[in-house]
Amino acid sequence: MKHLKFFVFLCILTFTVSCGQQKKYVQYKVKEGESMRVIAKKLDMNTKDLLRLNPDVSKNPEANTVIIVPNKEMKKGVTNQENSIKDQDIASDATTVKEDAETVILSEKEKQRNLLIEELEKYFKIHEVKKGDTFFSLTRFYNVSRADLIVLNPELSEGLKLGQLIKIMPIEDVIEEDDFLYADEIEEGISIKAAIMLPFRTSELDTLSSNEIFGNSKLANIVTDFYLGAEIAIDSLRKQGVALDIDVFDTGGKSTKMNAIVADNNLKENDVIIGPLYFEEIAFLADKVNTPIVFPVYSKNQSKFTSKRIIKTAPNKDLFRDKLLAYIEENFQDGNIVIVGDGKADSNYNSSKIRTILKSHDSINSIHLITPKEGYIKKEKFINVLKPNMKNIVVMTTSDNVIVASAINSLISLPENTTVRVFTFDKTSAFDKIDNGKLAQLSFTYVSDEYIREDSFKAMDFNSKYLAKNGALPSYYATKGFDITYDILVRLASGKSLKATFDDGYSYRVESKFDYSDTLFKTTDNKGLFIVRYNPDLTLTRIN
């Protein structure tokens, strides 16, 4: 339907210009490194509107791609003369347009339908029912439940009808949709064999009470919650028709059982292995099998992995910094930047890296580095470098509790005409100890590998299933267990090899983004990160 609307629009456009009226639209050739977002900014228009003008063009088109843009001068030197539609090209198209006039002239009924679609798309993700659509195929493709669809479309209680427009989910739940978003597809009759390896340590703990186990062991809680979340993912996929053969192995204490597990089981029969949790065990297992091995947690040593069989689900920490820098470069066009460090090696390295990259940015006026004196930062240090009536951003490269606290307290007490926004690329525990009201006052913005909207369909559906099965709401690790397990298994359910699906795009689950980079002969990394901002009402918003 969108392609039809674009064809009609383009025909009318060409016909109008050929009749000698003012040219409202012109052609523009995309330059190297330009995205649709960058071009839209030059044109003072919304990226969404530019994409609607060019429905067959991705958000990151290749250089020299020709697109349609409004006929007005761009901010950065794009002239109408360079990009105008040539009169002879228009004239040559006029005959074709005339011959197809009956196609162009829409009936009143079609016009009304298109208006309805445009209005609905402001608020909802819309689907037009096609031949072969079923509730099963729709719920599987859009990752929503049948109950969700009926809540939004009560008429569906009578079944699906060809050509029917149905609301899939509120638009705020549609995180992102472009050529690189992975679409879940399940092959008919697919079967998957997988192994889950976790340190349940049953032989060590079988003499203890549940209070003794879970009251004193953080690991026991992590492992149990992760597995309970994984169970929900397995149940969900089985209900969608995937035949799953899952073996669960207790790896015991650190590196105590891996030799026996490898010796006593034919692990090579598995399509994938999720776990174990320890760095040494993953490295050991990668030398014994050819099966993809999913490392489900973060380790500070994970950059040392070398095997191409290992898939890291937690992004490396340097990606957090790169994500924040890319966001600042793209969105901070003028103003003043202050970096707060602590003088330690990691902080110095990150501060230096940030200064080097941002100094090359033409629009950034000044960059200052502040370090503590006597263990904390006085307000006067900020007053000396922050500028009134101007955009100021402060980037924290320290995780020291005292320095973070003193910096935040100084920043919230600045004069009214000096506004500040605070960023960090790794929200450590030092920020968790700060009152959220103070962070919100500074529009505190950080990079995270998790973001969840509790009122989204995905979150509510998972929470309700987990609560019904386990009598409690899911923890962070339970949600991670679901996200990682569901994403890996549903990709395998497509019938493709796991790594082949990584080329098909990134995916969003309940609170995680999986954007895997598969490099030949190297470990697979997940680059899926969010940029999250505190709002004045203490809620969180994902801004990238």
338, 442 contact by CB (below 8 A): no
Fold classification of 191-315+456-508 is Rossmann fold (3.40.50)
Handedness of CA 316, 310, 283, 219 (dihedral sign): positive
* Residues 443 and 537: beta-carbon distance below 8 Å: no
**DSSP 8-state code for residue 71:** S
Kindly write down the DSSP assignment for every residue of 415-483, as one continuous string: -TT---EEEESS--HHHHTS-HHHHHHTT-EEEES----TTSHHHHHHHHHHHHHHSS---HHHHHHHH
What fold does the segment set 109-173 form as a domain? Answer: Membrane-bound Lytic Murein Transglycosylase D; Chain A (3.10.350)
Q: By three-state DSSP, how is residue 288 classified?
A: coil
Q: Residue 541 in 3-state DSSP? A: strand
Cα Rg of the chain (Å, integer): 27
Q: What CATH number was assigned to the domain covering residues 2-104? A: 3.10.350.10
Count of alpha carbons within 13 angstroms of residue 91, beta-carbon side: 4
Digit-by-digit pLDDT tens for the chain (544 residues) are 434 333 433 343 333 333 333 445 677 888 888 888 888 888 878 777 787 777 667 788 888 888 888 875 444 444 443 444 344 444 444 444 444 444 444 556 666 777 777 777 767 788 888 887 888 778 767 767 788 888 888 888 888 988 888 988 876 555 444 558 888 889 999 999 999 999 987 655 444 444 543 445 688 889 999 999 999 999 999 999 999 999 999 998 887 889 999 999 999 999 999 999 999 999 999 999 999 999 999 999 999 999 999 999 999 998 999 999 888 877 776 678 899 988 888 888 888 888 887 777 666 667 888 888 877 888 888 888 888 888 888 999 998 999 999 999 999 988 888 889 999 988 888 899 999 999 999 999 999 999 987 767 788 889 989 999 999 999 999 999 999 999 999 999 999 999 999 999 999 999 999 999 877 678 999 999 999 999 888 888 888 8
The CATH 3.10.350.10 domain(s) of the chain lie at 2-104, 109-173
Q: Architecture of domain 318-448 in CATH?
A: 3-Layer(aba) Sandwich (3.40)
Full 3-state SS string of 37-63: HHHHHHCCCCHHHHHHHCCCCCCCCCC
CATH 3.40.50.2300: which residues of the chain? 191-315+456-508, 318-448
| CA proximity to 117, closest of 178, 165, 60, 179 | 165
What's the gap between Cα 486 and its chain centre?
A: 16
